[in-house]
Amino acid sequence: MSISKKVRQLVYDKCGGHCAYCGKEIAYKDMQVDHIIPMLRNFPDWQIEMGGWTRGTDDIDNLLPSCRSCNFRKGTCDLEDFRKQVKAQCETLCKTFQGKMSLSYGLIVKVDKPIVFYFEKLNNQKEE
Ligand SMILES: [Zn+2]
């Protein structure tokens, strides 16, 4: 099922033109509509049951605006797996030749902090 223009606009407005995950500004045309709980389109029901997963829906509450990178990296992950992936990706980068050298020269700085998605920060602001 494709998402209507009206729904796309609602999704875009959810984070005021930012990616719901990394928070960078995205143009409407570049926005990808992400399913918070993945649709698992190519997964048969039995596989979903075996994996203990839940199949997401096209309901507006399950949709968030995403940039291409975050949408690509999130793939079929749920939020917590995606959070782990983002963290693990940095660990991997720091172990590469380029990462190590950039760290040595102080060109990049490794910061140990929890991954808080942009939409979570927005939600926290609303609650305060
Ligand atoms: Zn992003």
Q: Where are the domains positioned within the chain?
A: 5-127
Residues with CB under 5 A from ligand 1 (ion): 19, 21-22, 67, 70
Residue 67 C-alpha to ligand 1 middle, in angstroms?
4
pLDDT, one tens digit per residue, over 2-40 is 789 999 999 999 999 999 999 999 999 999 999 999 988
> For the purposes of burial, counting CB atoms within 10 Å of the CB of 103, is it exposed (0-12), middle (13-18) or buried (19 or more)?
middle
Residue 20 C-alpha to ligand 1 middle, in angstroms?
7
Residue 2 C-alpha to ligand 1 middle, in angstroms?
21
Residue 22 C-alpha to ligand 1 middle, in angstroms?
4
**Is residue 59 within 8 Å of 11, Cβ to Cβ?**
no
Q: For the whole model, what pTM was predicted?
A: 0.88
Q: If you search the block for the tokens 């979903």, which residue do you land on?
A: 48
pLDDT, one tens digit per residue, over 45-73 is 898 888 888 888 999 999 999 999 999 99
Residue 118 C-alpha to ligand 1 middle, in angstroms?
9
What is the residue type of 93? L
Residue among 21, 115, 3 at smallest CA distance from 71: 21
pLDDT at 39: 86
**Is residue 78 within 8 Å of 35, Cβ to Cβ?**
no
H/E run at residue 103? helix 97-104
